[in-house]
């Protein structure tokens, strides 16, 4: 019998895994989106795994989430494939754990399905499949930065499962208890929403594990006496460590941020709760009818409890809660599923956040929905129905619709443009899609279109980022007014005094005007706010180099790369400065590192070729020059340098051909004429040499070396 059960469980694992992989098979090449930029791409704290304390504690609320990103970066760099693979792994794991948890729950409720194995096996499998395929999960799984919710849920469920095993086992029970505690700690280290776990453990214990719970007299005077409460605490001591850990977390959070809520965002709590009544009703709609999904929901702030729609939402929520409490004895699965939903949703419902509503906040609460679906569809799992085809057909249709919708939704995530165009179509009066589309158009060089999007974003909801981006886009237009641009940037700073990017952009404007003192002042202001801001260190380094402060420039470039090892401009500047100061080996290492990140800049290959030339490796110099010409075959300086290297290799004819190509591309390239003159001089062809040197002087009349060669040849 155990072998049969094992085969069924193995089949469940296989079905859930295959379904999840199919649904998310089109996500592996989905690019980074929105918050992925500050959280991953522009986050220097995850880019050096050796500095483990910095990785873990730059975001002390979510150290293990940061660690997962740092490991991904160490293994994959900025290739999204590896990040999506990890996200999908934890989603599959969560789906399997939903199946296991549901199975354990129903196993402890023989009255729900009877003694037969198959009904509660099939219901558990269906629960795991609904969770895995539901379209509401796409944001959590496909959006890399939402990994925290997926990972947290995996360890959250593990903690519950180990807790159940602890209470139901006789052997190694305390080992399971320890695993439950450890899983809880891990989930807390990934995301703060794990704070709801102790309350869920109480529900699990009360509904499914207590031997003879006195539910009828739960709130009686006797049950609330001090003696009774003390007795319960002694009997249920194993819950206390979980609550103590929560207390410690709250104390630490208050010590770090001065609040247990969101440290950077505050909204009137009453208004927030009134708004959340509408949000929760919309969550119900998304769970049962998951269409019109979007990354950015529009929700006004509701301020009047007597507003009819608000009052109706509150009444509906209270009726649902009352109904679930009234049915605790009769329908424990129903009551548990409803309470699971509200408890696990409470962190985002009770604490004001920047957004009022988000699909990713439903990842953990949706497990309550899965259990509720099992309760609703219980007749289809009944013993008398098992052998009939129609129940399986209906359940299969539900799963197929969910899976197809999820797959289709993931297509929208294939590019930032399609994602935000979709959001704009569904939330036309929200500023964020305009801001995002402005950034995408700017990135693609469509500056005027970007400016229009930024202006619309500011019109709807002025933010520091929108003003900063608008100003930066205006600098790309030849008709831009520096004074107006600086005013926009100062407006950005007034909205967000710590806006170091705005300080950088003001510094860049002064840099272009060659007002280096003003530029340095604003670059330093950016660093005062964010000492790890790589771009500001780079800006100071470039000014140091221009002012002849070579050592200071080298140090600044190194610092810029310390905080952002992928800063390509810093790598190029450092490599070029190494070349100009004859540090050829360091230059080669730096430029080859840059090529490994981006191989589409001909100047990088050219400088690399010069480095190899100066250390006498003419063959590698030629290889680098050829790579440069593959990208841009019309670079006269590269052809000229190829001629010099070929001459050093004894290939005179090929060298002369390259000099000739140089002159065809740029007839005023004095050095190429001079190089041809030197070859003719060495060959004894005096007249041709004189002609070439004279051509060289036309375009470089002060070249003393050319004048000396003419004198040696007896020409005036």
**Is residue 320 packed enough to be buried (19+ CB in 10 Å), middle (13-18) or exposed (0-12)?**
middle
| Residues 6 or more apart in contact with residue 536 via CB below 8 angstroms | 500, 503, 504, 507, 523, 524, 526, 527, 530
C-alpha distances out from residue 483 to 228, 235, 465, 486, Å: 74, 73, 19, 5
Helix axes 704-712, 686-699, angle to 10 degrees: 160
C-alpha distances out from residue 445 to 35, 122, 433, 451, 485, Å: 22, 54, 18, 11, 18
pLDDT tens string 632-661: 999 999 999 999 999 999 999 999 999 999
Kindly state the greatest CA–CA separation across the chain.
Answer: 122
Residue in 445, 437, 444, 446 with CA at minimum distance from that of residue 466: 437
- Tokens describing residue 431: 């500023």
659 close to 676: Cβ distance less than 8 angstroms: yes
| Residues 6 or more apart in contact with residue 85 via CB below 8 angstroms | 28
Rounded distance, CA 122 to CA 99, Å? 10
305 close to 433: Cβ distance less than 8 angstroms: no
H-type alpha helices, 353-498: 366-376, 378-381, 389-412, 416-426, 431-443, 447-460, 464-474, 482-495
Instruction: List b or e across 481-510, with b for residues whose CB sees 16 or more CB atoms inside 10 angstroms.
Output: eeeebbebbbbbbebbeebbbbbbbbbbbb
Rounded distance, CA 485 to CA 502, Å? 11
Rounded distance, CA 329 to CA 126, Å? 24
Per DSSP, 146 falls in state G
pLDDT reported for residue 595: 94
pLDDT reported for residue 231: 55
Rounded distance, CA 298 to CA 280, Å? 14
298 close to 427: Cβ distance less than 8 angstroms: yes
Residue in 167, 84, 93, 164 with CA at minimum distance from that of residue 128: 93
Rounded distance, CA 328 to CA 464, Å? 50
Q: Which domains does the chain have, with CATH numbers?
A: 2-211+239-410 (no CATH), 634-716 (1.25.40.10)
| Residues 6 or more apart in contact with residue 250 via CB below 8 angstroms | 195, 260
Report the predicted TM-score, pTM, of the whole model to 2 decimal places. Answer: 0.84
- Going from the first residue of the chain to its last (716 residues), give the mean pLDDT of each consecutive group of 10, the final group possibly shorter: 75 96 96 92 87 88 94 93 98 98 85 68 92 98 96 98 90 92 96 95 89 49 51 76 90 70 69 94 96 90 92 96 89 93 95 89 97 84 56 83 97 96 89 95 94 95 94 87 92 92 95 95 96 96 96 97 91 97 96 89 96 96 96 95 95 95 95 94 90 93 91 78
Query: What is the secondary structure of 537-582 as a DSSP string?
Result: HHHHHHHHHHTT-HHHHHHHHHHHHHH-TT-HHHHHHHHHHHHHTT
pLDDT reported for residue 250: 83
Instruction: List b or e across 342-379, with b for residues whose CB sees 16 or more CB atoms inside 10 angstroms.
Output: bbbbbbbbebbbeebbbbbbbbbbbbbbbbbbbbebbe
H-type alpha helices, 77-142: 80-107, 110-113, 117-133, 138-142
In three-state secondary structure terms, 369 is helix
Residue in 194, 247, 204, 253 with CA at minimum distance from that of residue 102: 204
* HSE toward the beta carbon, residue 677, CA cutoff 13 A: 24
Rounded distance, CA 51 to CA 14, Å? 39
pLDDT tens string 354-391: 888 999 999 999 999 999 998 888 776 655 555 555 66
pLDDT reported for residue 312: 96
Rounded distance, CA 206 to CA 218, Å? 11
121 close to 103: Cβ distance less than 8 angstroms: yes
- Tokens describing residue 240: 């206390």
């Amino acid at each position: 019998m155990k072998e049969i059960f094992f085969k069924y469980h193995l089949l469940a694992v296989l079905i859930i895994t295959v379904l999840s992989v199919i649904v998310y098979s089109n996500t592996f090449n989905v690019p980074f989106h929105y918050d992925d930029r500050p959280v991953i791409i522009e986050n220097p704290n995850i880019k050096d795994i050796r500095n483990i304390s910095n990785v873990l504690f730059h975001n002390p609320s979510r150290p293990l989430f940061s660690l997962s990103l740092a490991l991904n970066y160490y293994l994959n760099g900025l290739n999204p494939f590896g990040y999506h693979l990890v996200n999908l792994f934890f989603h599959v794991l969560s789906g399997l754990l939903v199946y296991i948890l549901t199975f354990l729950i129903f196993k402890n409720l023989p009255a729900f399905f009877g003694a037969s194995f198959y009904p509660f096996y099939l219901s558990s499998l269906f629960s795991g499949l609904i969770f895995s395929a539901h379209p509401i999960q796409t944001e959590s799984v496909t959006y890399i930065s939402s990994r925290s919710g997926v990972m947290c849920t995996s360890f959250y469920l593990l903690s519950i499962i180990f807790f159940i095993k602890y209470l139901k086992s006789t052997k190694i029970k305390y080992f399971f208890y320890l695993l439950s505690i450890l899983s809880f700690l891990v989930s807390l280290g990934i995301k703060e929403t794990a704070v709801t776990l102790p309350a869920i453990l109480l529900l699990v214990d009360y509904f499914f594990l207590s031997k003879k719970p006195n539910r009828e007299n739960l709130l009686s005077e006797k049950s609330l006496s001090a003696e009774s409460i003390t007795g319960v605490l002694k009997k249920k001591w194993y819950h206390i460590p979980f609550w103590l850990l929560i207390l410690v977390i709250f104390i630490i959070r208050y010590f770090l941020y001065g609040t247990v809520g969101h440290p950077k965002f505050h909204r009137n709590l009453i208004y927030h709760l009134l708004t959340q009544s509408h949000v929760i009703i919309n969550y119900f709609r998304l769970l049962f009818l998951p269409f019109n999904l979007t990354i950015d929901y529009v929700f006004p702030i509701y301020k009047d409890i007597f507003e009819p729609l608000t009052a109706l939402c509150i009444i509906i929520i209270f009726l649902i809660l009352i109904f679930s409490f009234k049915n605790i004895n009769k329908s424990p699965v129903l009551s548990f599923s409803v309470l699971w939903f509200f408890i696990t949703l409470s962190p985002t419902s009770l604490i004001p956040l920047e957004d009022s509503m988000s699909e990713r906040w439903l990842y953990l609460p949706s497990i309550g929905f899965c259990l509720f679906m099992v309760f609703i569809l219980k007749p289809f799992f009944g013993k008398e129905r098992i052998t009939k085809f129609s129940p399986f057909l209906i359940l299969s249709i539900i799963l197929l619709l969910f899976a197809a919708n999820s797959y289709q939704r993931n297509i929208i995530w294939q590019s930032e443009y399609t994602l935000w165009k979709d959001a704009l179509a569904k939330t036309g009066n929200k500023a964020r899609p305009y801001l995002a589309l402005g950034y995408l158009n700017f990135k693609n060089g469509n500056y005027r279109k970007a400016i229009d999007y930024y202006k619309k974003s500011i019109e709807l909801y002025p933010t520091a980022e929108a003003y900063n981006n608008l100003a930066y886009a205006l600098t790309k237009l030849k008709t831009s007014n520096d004074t107006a641009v600086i005013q926009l940037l100062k407006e950005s700073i007034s909205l967000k005094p710590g806006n170091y990017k705005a300080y950088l952009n003001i510094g860049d404007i002064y840099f272009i005007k060659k007002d280096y003192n003003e530029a340095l002042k604003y670059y330093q202001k950016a660093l005062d706010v964010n000492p790890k801001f790589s771009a500001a260190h780079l800006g100071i380094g470039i000014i140091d180099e221009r002012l002849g402060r070579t050592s200071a420039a080298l140090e600044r470039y190194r610092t810029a790369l310390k905080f952002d090892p992928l800063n390509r401009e810093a790598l190029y500047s450092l490599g070029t400065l190494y070349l100009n100061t004859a540090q050829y080996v360091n230059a080669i290492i730096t430029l080859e590192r840059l090529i490994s990140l981006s191989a589409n800049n001909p100047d990088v290959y050219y400088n690399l070729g010069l480095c190899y030339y100066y250390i006498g490796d003419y063959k590698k110099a030629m290889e680098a020059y050829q790579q440069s010409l593959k990208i841009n075959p019309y670079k006269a300086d590269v052809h000229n340098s190829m001629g010099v290297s070929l001459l050093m290799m004894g290939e005179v004819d090929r060298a002369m051909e390259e000099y000739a190509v140089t002159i065809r591309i740029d007839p005023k390239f004095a050095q190429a004429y001079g190089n041809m003159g030197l070859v003719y001089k060495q060959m004894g062809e005096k007249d041709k040499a004189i002609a070439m040197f004279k051509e060289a002087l036309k375009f470089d009349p002060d070249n003393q070396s050319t004048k000396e060669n003419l004198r040696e040849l007896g020409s005036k």
